[in-house]
Amino acid sequence: MNAHHKNGPQPQSGILDIRPYVPGKVGAKGGKIYKLSANESAVGASPKALAAYAESARDMERYPDGSVAALREAIAQRHGLRVQNIVCGAGSDELLQLLAHAYLAPGDEAIYSQFGFLVYPIAISSNGATAVIAPEKNHRADVGEILARVTAKTKMVFLANPNNPTGTYLTAEEIARLHQGLPAHVLLVLDGAYAEFVMANDYDAGVALVENHSNVVMTRTFSKIYGLASLRLGWAYCPPAIADVLNRIRGPFNVSVPAMMAGIAALEDQKFFDDALAFNTKWMTWLTVEITKLGLNITPSVGNFLLLHFDSAGQAQRADAFLSDRGLILRAVAAYGLPAALRLSVGTEEANRFVVNKLEEFLKWR
Ligand SMILES: *Cc1c(COP(=O)(O)O)cnc(C)c1O
């Protein structure tokens, strides 16, 4: 039954065309569950962040500081940024949505790449704008294809760098070329949710582009390397005019005190961060080597997850079912147009060894 009545309140055009975001599965029946479907941290959060959260939860009757000054200061210090150009949000998802809301209207177009993060088309359609998809080559965004789709109606380009679910990235040179090819009124959003994991020295998350131009925003999150996905905390680094716009339209208290305190403590725990990064690098390499040995094709990834390619959509589905029956939850990515692939997040040592073992068993048994 269609729940929407033509005589009732009508949403913004485009909203009813949205396919709601479907998060990775949470669990399977019985036994131990290894959730490797949401790119969550395998090592959790800094105990200092958890303690700061618990401490601030003793006292909840007051509104937060709406400007989240202490957290923005901590982010600015950590990354060497201009504090007034940082805007925080309830996850970077909120900031992506706010950017789309501020800069898109019906009739406008916004471009994202073929296997780009599915929050982008949702944010674009929510505002009645048209999502334009630029084809990728080898599961990698293509600057030429993006620029070829810029029209007089284009207002935004969304690019996750590195991208989820492919794990690929564009080099600093490619991003500079992309930016150079865009008209000054087109806003380039560089989503750096996985920026902290990237070891490649030709990568750049985009700080200088933001500081030197009026049409580039970088978004970042505490959900991935900091292991605080449940907290809902992210930030955007913006040119002054865009920070001003976001500050006008965001909820006045969109970041809670416990989130702010946990975020600050996480930023201060450099040792925990370094260990989390070393853990990821070690196990990404191990998983890539071991799974390649099993004969599966893997898209080279610089994030905390791998895209595994099977022979067919059917085989990927059978692998997904085989693994879930054994408590291993991977992410099906058919909604991204990748029906023959599964995405695997780096897990604990136990989970990583177990998934390789069970994949081997599946591939023999298939
Ligand atoms: C996980 C992820 C985010 C982070 O979203 P939050 O709302 O900050 O949790 C943003 N972009 C991409 C591409 C992601 O994979």
- Predicted TM-score (pTM) of this structure: 0.95
Which numbered atom of ligand 1 lies nearest the CA of 160?
A: 13
Which numbered atom of ligand 1 lies nearest the CA of 117?
A: 13
Residue 32 has pLDDT above 50, yes or no: yes
Quick: pLDDT tens for 295-350. 999 999 999 999 999 999 999 999 999 999 999 999 999 999 999 999 999 999 99
Residue 1 has pLDDT above 50, yes or no: no
The token pair at 28 is 């399977």
What domains appear along the chain, each with residue ranges and CATH number?
A: 20-44+271-364 (3.90.1150.10), 47-268 (3.40.640.10)
Q: Please, are residues 219 and 236 in contact by the beta-carbon 8 Å criterion?
A: yes
Query: Quick one: what percent of the chain has pLDDT higher than 90?
Result: 90
Which numbered atom of ligand 1 lies nearest the CA of 229?
A: 9
Model confidence at 3, pLDDT cuts 50, 70, 90, reads: confident
**DSSP E strand stretches across 5-139:** 34-35, 86-89, 109-113, 130-134
Measured by CA distance, the residue closest to atom 14 of ligand 1 is: 193
CA of 193 from ligand 1 middle (Å) equals 5
337 Rama class: left (phi>0) / alpha (psi -120 to 50) / beta: left
The token pair at 150 is 């810029």
Which numbered atom of ligand 1 lies nearest the CA of 93?
A: 7
Quick: pLDDT tens for 195-229. 999 999 999 999 999 999 999 999 999 999 999 99
Whole-number pLDDT of residue 330 = 98
> What Cα–Cα distance (Å) separates residue 316 from each residue in 39, 68, 307, 331?
19, 44, 11, 11
Residues touching ligand 1 (Cβ under 6 Å) are 39, 91-93, 117, 160, 164, 191, 193, 221, 223-224, 229, 234
Q: In 3D, which of 85, 86, 123, 121 has the Cα closest to residue 101?
A: 123
Model confidence at 366, pLDDT cuts 50, 70, 90, reads: low
Q: Please, are residues 257 and 277 in contact by the beta-carbon 8 Å criterion?
A: no
CA of 304 from ligand 1 middle (Å) equals 12
Residue 319 neighbours by CB distance under 10 Å: 22
Whole-number pLDDT of residue 24 = 67
Q: Are strands 86-89 and 234-237 parallel, antiparallel or unpaired?
A: antiparallel
Which numbered atom of ligand 1 lies nearest the CA of 233?
A: 8
CA of 91 from ligand 1 middle (Å) equals 7
Q: Are strands 297-299 and 305-309 parallel, antiparallel or unpaired?
A: antiparallel
Q: Please, are residues 34 and 354 in contact by the beta-carbon 8 Å criterion?
A: yes
CA of 97 from ligand 1 middle (Å) equals 12
Q: Please, are residues 23 and 335 in contact by the beta-carbon 8 Å criterion?
A: no
Average pLDDT over residues 4-16: 84
Task: Give, for ligand 1, the residue of 41, 189, 222, 223 to mutate: max count of ligand atoms closer than 8 Å to Cβ.
Answer: 223
Query: Quick one: what percent of the chain has pLDDT higher than 70?
Result: 97
Quick: pLDDT tens for 41-73. 999 999 999 999 999 999 999 999 999 999 999
Strand partners, 113: 134
Model confidence at 12, pLDDT cuts 50, 70, 90, reads: confident
Whole-number pLDDT of residue 346 = 98
Quick: pLDDT tens for 261-299. 999 999 999 999 999 999 999 999 999 999 999 999 999
Whole-number pLDDT of residue 213 = 98
CA of 221 from ligand 1 middle (Å) equals 7
Task: State the chain's mean pLDDT as an integer.
Answer: 96
Q: What share of the chain is helix, strand, coil (3-state, %, to 5)?
A: 40, 15, 40
